[in-house]
Every structure is written in structure tokens, then in C-alpha cells.
Structure 1
Amino acid sequence: MTRTATPRSVTLTRESEGVYVATNADGAQLRFGRGEGLLGPVELMLAAIAGCSSIDVDAMTSRRATPDRFEVTASADKVTEDGANILENIRVLFDLAFPEGEEGDAARKRIGAALRASHEKHCTVSRTVEGGVPVALVEADAPQA
């Protein structure tokens, strides 16, 4: 088994109460939070799951034909039990259409395999969620244990 690790990070900056800007190492930014016109953290997670697999599926199908429609919807049920929240029943629906003809047929035939490859191997986000990887919340100035 070959194992490699490449660090990934974002830095979150508070813009105002409930509004934040995430910045990655390349300087790309995304504004989010609570409030009208903003995606919330749960929606960002759903977008990350859908986006990760979309990138995979797009790459594997659009080599054959450019899609006429590529729409992906991620949904989940937010469940509260004993005051603790979690998402259940996460589902990512791919609504894809390709042009008629040989190239479109080739792209359509690739969809199932592309979905499986993304889910089983390539999509870091959904694989991490399914794997139940622990998350540590650490205070910057706190003594390290």
C-alpha cells in the first residue's frame, strides 16, 4: 500500500458577526455564513461533496462529449438528537445530458463508471465524510497536550 500526504488548508476570517471569508493558499476566496444571500456551512459541505464528484464525473465524461446539461443536486436531512446535530441521508443526484450521436453515446455509457470511480476512489470529500475522520478543534494559544 502506497501512502502519500499533501497538506490542504483554508484560513477563515471574520468579516462581521456570522459572515466569514475562507481563503486558500492560492488566494481564492469564498464568502459564506448566516444571512440572506449567503451559503451556510452545511450548504458548503453539500456543495463540496457535489463539487468533488462533479469534477471527477465531468473529467471522465466530457472527454467524450461536452454535456448539454450538467446539473448536480446534493441534499441531506439535518437531524437533531439530544441537542446534537448531524446530517443523514446525504444524496447526490447527477442530471446529465449529452448530445445525440456517437460521442454523446460514449459519454452516456461512461456516467455509471465515472460515478463509481469518484465514489470509491477519487472524491476526497465524500470519502472523508463516509470514513468518519475525526476533527480536532484547537485553540491557538492553548497549551498543547
Structure 2
Amino acid sequence: MTRSSSPRTVQLSRESEGVYIATNAKGDTLRFGRGEGLLSPVELMLAAIAGCSSIDVDVMTSRRSEPERFDVTASAEYVTEDGANILEDIRVLFDLAFPEGAEGDAARKRIGAALRSSHEKSCTVSRTVEAGVPVALEQAPDSQA
């Protein structure tokens, strides 16, 4: 088994109560949080799952034909049990359409393989969620308690 590793980091800054700015190493930003016009962290996670697999499927199918429709819906049940919250039954639905003809047929034939490849190998986000990788919440040493 060959293993390689490369770190990924996102810095989060508070803009106001419940509103945050995430910044990646390249300086790209995303505003999110609680409130009108903002995606929530749960919605961001669903978008990340859908987005990761969408990139995989898009690359593998659009090489053959440009899609006429490429819509993806990520959904889950938000469950609260004994005061603890979790998402269950995460589902990602791909609604794709390609033009008639040989190129569209070739793209349609790749959909199943692309979904399998993304799920089993290349989508880091959904594979990490499914693996149940631990998350550590830590306080910085110089942070005020």
C-alpha cells in the first residue's frame, strides 16, 4: 500500500455573531454562518460532499460530451437524539442529461463508473465522512480560558 500525505488548512475568522469567513491557503474566502442569506455549516458539509463527487463525475463524463443538465442535490436527515445532533441518511442525487448522439451516449455510459470511482476512491469528503475520522477540538495554548 502506497501512502502520501499533504496538509490542508482553512482559517476561520468571526465577522459578527454567527457569521464567519473561511479562508484557504490561496486566499480564497467563503462567508457562512447563521442568518439570512448565509449557508449554514451543515449545508456547507452537504455542498462539500456533493461538490467533491460532482467534480469527479463532471471530469469523467464531460470528456465525452458537454452536459445539457448537471444538477446535484445533497440531502440528509438532521437528527437530535439525547440532545446530540447528527446527520443520517446522507444522499447525493445526480440529475444529468447529455445530448443525443454518439458523444452523449459515451458520456451517459460513464455515469455509473464515475459515481463508483468517486465513492470508492477519489472523493475525499464523502470517504472521510464514511470513515468516521475523529475530529479534535483544541484550545490554543495562548488563548484565554
Bin for the TM-score computed over the shorter chain: over 0.9
Report matched runs for 1:61-76 at 5 Å. 61-76=61-76
Aligned length: 143
Q: Which residue of 2 aligns with 1:110?
A: 110
The unaligned stretches of length 5 or more in structure 1 are none
Q: Which residue of 2 aligns with 1:92?
A: 92
CA distance in 1, matches of 2:5, 2:83: 35
- Over aligned residue pairs, what C-alpha RMSD do you find? 1.0
Q: Which runs of 4+ in 1 moved over 6 A?
A: none
Report matched runs for 1:1-145 at 5 Å. 1-141=1-141
CA distance in 2, matches of 1:100, 1:2: 41
Residue deviations 1:99-144 (CA, integer Å, cap 9, x gap): 110000000000000000000000000000000000000101269x
The unaligned stretches of length 5 or more in structure 2 are none
What's the TM-score, normalizing by structure 2? 0.97
Aligned-residue sequence identity (percent) comes to 80
Residue deviations 1:39-87 (CA, integer Å, cap 9, x gap): 0000000000000000000000000000000000000000000000000
Residue deviations 1:5-63 (CA, integer Å, cap 9, x gap): 11001000000000000000001100000000000000000000000000000000000
CA distance in 2, matches of 1:43, 1:10: 17
What's the TM-score, normalizing by structure 1? 0.97
